[in-house]
């Protein structure tokens, strides 16, 4: 791969040609300064873009024409980009690490479940701000297919808001209001598939050549059978296999590639027309005010025989092209990879070697999420410490999304190597976790359900809200005061661990109030077959009213969480640009890791046990702290010491810093308001 800017004579000629042809269009539309800015950025990112497209599609006869068309779209989108967003682009170019600052805290929700509609979300911005949210991911809200729609991930129209939620105008207004309150909007770019009712699919069905080329279709089973040899199944339970027979398609009927449900048709990225469509869509979301685009199901974009058809090299070229294009047209917008893949594969979505700063800025840290739940069940830090030691270190310019739950299931994503290294038997441990989190394991505090149990492999994943998995549901049901207390401590402990790491912590709607599983989905025929709805409850605004009352359960959780967020916001030590160092604490029940920055170190210590634990006081020095320490979480008081050991309360977390240092951030919450 090119890792420097290479303008070969041919490339230069192509570039000049495009420049000559397109300049007049630019100058006719925009003021000269905007044109200059465009050209400067284009020149800067040309190589990334050209290399990616040339490698993917360079052997086509129409490559130059394709490139010219793409360029035309870039120009158009840039010309249409609203002025305030162009200012935001500049602002973010000056502060390229804006998303790594410690005030970044995300929140995910379904628009209807949270606030009814987009207008309702606007009315709830105060609530989000009270919590400290600076990044809002609204789950898919564009027009889905009728009937089951995979939680909105099966769309018939990418550019029309689901009518009961509002309109595109409402969405634009919301983006502006959020931005004025310092909140970045994240939207899903569902780029792997469309609903079979989408007009592209419908026209393919009718046999139109152009649209047949948008999908992977086969007239007989020979290729599908060959691919199936090495393809896993994402939803083995309710959508087995990866191909769907579509009778009458293009006359005779065809097999269509459907990784997810039979109504979600995978797009064919070996066809550059698909890239044009998706780039256009990217511009559409960027120009309506989205600041983060979530690349749904990113691993699946490229297919190759004899592989699992995930994480193929071409996927990273596509992302490189998308990113370069955005850097030119809308550099204020960043990409988030939704790639639920092992750590060694995940790192590639953020960039390795010559692709550093050419891939996504953000990616879900799925392994860490699963490890946190594993450590909560075993009350042991061994596995997570081992895995964090082995996980690839992130490079500059990107950040993990640290989360406990999202709208999906939890898969036990720790690697077999790490399990074996700490003396676990991989299958047994995963079975234990499934038993534990469905409450079947004797003494388990958790209440969840199995998702996509695969009798053939014995695999399964788990669904349930954070509160239910952490024991709140069972405790409340039994009316046991001390069990409720432990559940609340677990919920806050887990949040202290995701907030106490670098990257962007993201809270899933309802977790801030301890919302428990919502079993009502089973009465809705559209949802009954998908128990991920268990962890997609409706917001309970009655319960939210109790959030200031610390005698109430929601009050304890909400206030505990806002204190964590406030403490994080006031230190620079969790800034994404820093070293992450997992530590062996010397006590299996205590998880320890340090974050190191030029201005200081913070040591995170978490007791996963229901009983007090101790660690050697010298651990603070090993972590790089000297002398007296302060705890950012307890108003400064350091943990008590006895016989040279630090005392940690049951299920508690400490963020220790040097007693003398004042690594406090000047806190700026709101963006300035422009006229």
Say whether residue 293 binds ligand OTU (CB under 6 A): no
Q: Which stretch binds ligand OTU (CB under 6 A): 293-301, 391-399, 598-606, 635-643?
A: 293-301
Could you give the 3-state DSSP secondary structure of residue 594? Answer: strand
Which of 156, 165, 186, 340 contacts ligand OTU by CB under 6 A?
340
Contact 161, 267 (CB under 8 A): no
Which of 53, 319, 321, 339 contacts ligand OTU by CB under 6 A?
339
Could you give the 3-state DSSP secondary structure of residue 563? Answer: helix
Distance CA 569, CA 101 (A): 8
User: Closer CB to ligand OTU, residue 158 or residue 260?
Assistant: 260
Distance CA 79, CA 77 (A): 5
Q: Which stretch binds ligand OTU (CB under 6 A): 16-24, 222-230, 243-251, 292-300?
A: 292-300
Distance CA 557, CA 578 (A): 29
Distance CA 239, CA 74 (A): 38
Say whether residue 48 binds ligand OTU (CB under 6 A): no
User: Closer CB to ligand OTU, residue 106 or residue 331?
Assistant: 106
Contact 424, 384 (CB under 8 A): no
User: Closer CB to ligand OTU, residue 42 or residue 153?
Assistant: 153
Over the window 144 to 163, marking each residue x when it contacts ligand OTU by CB under 6 A and - when it does not, the resulting string is: ------xx-x----------
Q: Which stretch binds ligand OTU (CB under 6 A): 320-328, 338-346, 481-489, 494-502?
A: 338-346
Quote the least distance from Cβ 190 to ligand OTU, whole Å: 6
**Is 16 noted as a catalytic residue in this protein?**
no
Q: For residues 585-609, b (16+ Cβ closer than 10 Å) or e, as one string? A: bebbbbbbbbbbbeebbbbbbbbbb
Which of 341, 369, 394, 604 contacts ligand OTU by CB under 6 A?
341
User: Which residues does 59 contact at the CB level (< 8 Å), separation at least 6?
Assistant: none
Quote the least distance from Cβ 153 to ligand OTU, whole Å: 3
**Is 338 noted as a catalytic residue in this protein?**
yes
Q: How many residues bind ligand OTU (CB under 6 A)?
A: 15
Distance CA 96, CA 252 (A): 53
The pairing of beta strand 135-138 with beta strand 106-109: parallel
Distance CA 380, CA 403 (A): 19
Quote the least distance from Cβ 532 to ligand OTU, whole Å: 7
Distance CA 412, CA 507 (A): 20
Contact 45, 324 (CB under 8 A): yes
User: Closer CB to ligand OTU, residue 434 or residue 572?
Assistant: 434
Q: Which stretch binds ligand OTU (CB under 6 A): 82-90, 220-228, 332-340, 620-628?
A: 332-340
Say whether residue 22 binds ligand OTU (CB under 6 A): no
Which of 233, 338, 365, 631 contacts ligand OTU by CB under 6 A?
338
User: Closer CB to ligand OTU, residue 26 or residue 534?
Assistant: 534
Say whether residue 131 binds ligand OTU (CB under 6 A): no
Quote the least distance from Cβ 366 to ligand OTU, whole Å: 8
Say whether residue 328 binds ligand OTU (CB under 6 A): no
Say whether residue 450 binds ligand OTU (CB under 6 A): no
Contact 315, 301 (CB under 8 A): yes
Catalytic residue among 233, 296, 473, 512: 296
User: Which residues does 62 contact at the CB level (< 8 Å), separation at least 6?
Assistant: none
Say whether residue 266 binds ligand OTU (CB under 6 A): no
Distance CA 578, CA 598 (A): 8
Distance CA 553, CA 486 (A): 11
- Tally the residues of the chain: 675
User: Closer CB to ligand OTU, residue 135 or residue 300?
Assistant: 300
C-alpha 546, offset from chain centre = 30
Q: Compute the radius of gyration of the chain from its Cα atoms.
A: 25
User: Closer CB to ligand OTU, residue 70 or residue 231?
Assistant: 231
The pairing of beta strand 600-607 with beta strand 641-642: unpaired
Say whether residue 262 binds ligand OTU (CB under 6 A): no
Say whether residue 272 binds ligand OTU (CB under 6 A): no
User: Closer CB to ligand OTU, residue 38 or residue 300?
Assistant: 300
Over the window 209 to 248, marking each residue x when it contacts ligand OTU by CB under 6 A and - when it does not, the resulting string is: -------------------------x--------------
Quote the least distance from Cβ 239 to ligand OTU, whole Å: 10
Say whether residue 509 binds ligand OTU (CB under 6 A): no
Contact 309, 205 (CB under 8 A): no
Quote the least distance from Cβ 340 to ligand OTU, whole Å: 4
Contact 339, 298 (CB under 8 A): yes
Say whether residue 299 binds ligand OTU (CB under 6 A): yes
Catalytic residue among 89, 338, 512, 631: 338
Which of 297, 301, 391, 565 contacts ligand OTU by CB under 6 A?
297
Contact 511, 439 (CB under 8 A): no
Contacts (CB under 6 A) with ligand OTU, residues 389-408: 407-408
Residue (of 578, 600, 567) closest to 667 by Cα position:
567
Question: Exposed, middle or buried, 651 (CB in 10 Å: 0-12/13-18/19+)?
Answer: buried
Catalytic residue annotation:
296, 338
Binding site for ligand OTU (CB under 6 A): 150-151, 153, 234, 260, 296-297, 299, 338-341, 407-409
């Amino acid at each position: 791969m090119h890792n420097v800017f290479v303008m070969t004579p041919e490339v230069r000629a192509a570039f000049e040609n495009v420049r000559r042809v397109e300049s007049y269009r630019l100058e006719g539309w925009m003021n000269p300064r905007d044109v200059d800015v465009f050209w400067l950025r284009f020149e800067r990112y040309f190589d990334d873009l050209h290399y990616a497209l040339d490698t993917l599609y360079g052997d086509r006869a129409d490559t130059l024409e394709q490139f010219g068309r793409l360029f035309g779209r870039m120009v158009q989108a840039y010309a249409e980009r609203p002025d305030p967003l162009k200012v935001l682009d500049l602002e973010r170019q000056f502060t390229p690490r804006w998303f790594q600052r410690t005030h970044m805290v995300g929140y995910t929700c379904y628009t209807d479940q949270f606030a009814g509609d987009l207008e309702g979300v606007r009315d709830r911005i105060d609530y989000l701000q009270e919590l400290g949210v600076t990044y809002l991911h609204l789950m898919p809200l564009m027009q889905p297919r009728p009937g089951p729609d995979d939680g909105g991930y099966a769309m018939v129209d990418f550019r029309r808001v689901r009518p009961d939620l509002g309109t595109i105008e409402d969405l634009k207004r919301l983006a502006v209001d959020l931005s004025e309150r310092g909140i970045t909007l994240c939207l899903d770019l569902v780029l792997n598939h469309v609903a079979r009712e989408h007009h592209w699919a419908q026209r393919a069905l009718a046999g139109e050549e152009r649209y047949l080329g948008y999908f992977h279709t086969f007239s007989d089973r020979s290729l599908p059978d060959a691919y199936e040899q090495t393809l896993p199944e994402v939803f083995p339970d309710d959508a087995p296999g990866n191909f769907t027979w579509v009778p009458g398609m293009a006359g005779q009927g065809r097999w269509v590639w459907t990784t997810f449900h039979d109504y979600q048709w995978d797009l064919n990225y070996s066809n550059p027309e698909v890239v044009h469509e998706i780039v256009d869509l990217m511009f559409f979301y960027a120009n309506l005010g989205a600041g983060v685009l979530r690349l749904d199901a990113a691993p699946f974009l490229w297919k190759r025989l004899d592989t699992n058809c995930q994480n193929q090299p071409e996927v990273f070229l596509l992302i490189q092209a998308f990113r370069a294009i955005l850097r030119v047209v809308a550099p204020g917008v960043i990409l988030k990879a939704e790639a639920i893949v092992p750590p060694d594969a995940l790192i590639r979505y953020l960039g390795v070697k010559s692709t550093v700063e050419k891939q996504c800025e953000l990616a879900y840290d799925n392994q860490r999420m699963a490890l946190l739940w594993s450590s909560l069940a075993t009350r042991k830090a061994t596995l997570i410490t081992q895995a964090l030691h082995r996980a690839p270190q992130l490079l500059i310019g990107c950040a993990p999304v640290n989360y406990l739950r999202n709208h999906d299931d939890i898969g036990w994503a720790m690697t077999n190597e790490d399990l074996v290294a700490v003396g676990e038997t991989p299958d047994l441990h995963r079975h234990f976790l499934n038993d534990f989190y469905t409450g079947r394991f004797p003494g388990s505090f958790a209440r969840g359900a199995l998702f996509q149990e695969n009798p053939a492999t014995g695999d399964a994943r788990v669904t349930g809200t954070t509160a239910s998995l952490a024991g709140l549901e069972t405790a409340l049901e039994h009316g046991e005061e001390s069990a409720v207390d432990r559940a609340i401590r677990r919920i806050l402990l887990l949040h202290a661990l995701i907030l106490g790491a670098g990257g962007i912590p993201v809270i899933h709607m309802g977790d801030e109030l301890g919302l428990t599983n919502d079993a009502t989905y089973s009465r809705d025929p559209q949802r009954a077959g998908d128990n991920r709805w268990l962890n997609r409850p409706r917001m309970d605004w009655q319960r939210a009213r109790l959030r200031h009352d610390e005698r109430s359960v929601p009050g304890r959780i909400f206030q505990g969480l806002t204190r964590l967020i406030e403490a994080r916001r006031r230190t620079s030590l969790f800034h994404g640009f820093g070293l992450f160092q997992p530590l062996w604490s010397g006590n299996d029940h205590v998880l320890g890791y340090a974050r190191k920055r030029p201005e200081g170190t913070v040591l995170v210590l978490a007791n996963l046990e229901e009983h007090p634990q101790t660690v050697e006081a010298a651990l603070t020095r090993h972590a790089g702290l000297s002398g007296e320490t302060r705890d950012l979480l307890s108003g400064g008081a350091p943990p008590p010491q006895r016989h040279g050991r630090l005392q940690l309360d049951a299920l508690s977390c400490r963020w220790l810093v040097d007693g003398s240092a004042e690594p406090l951030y000047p806190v700026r919450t709101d963006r300035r308001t422009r006229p």
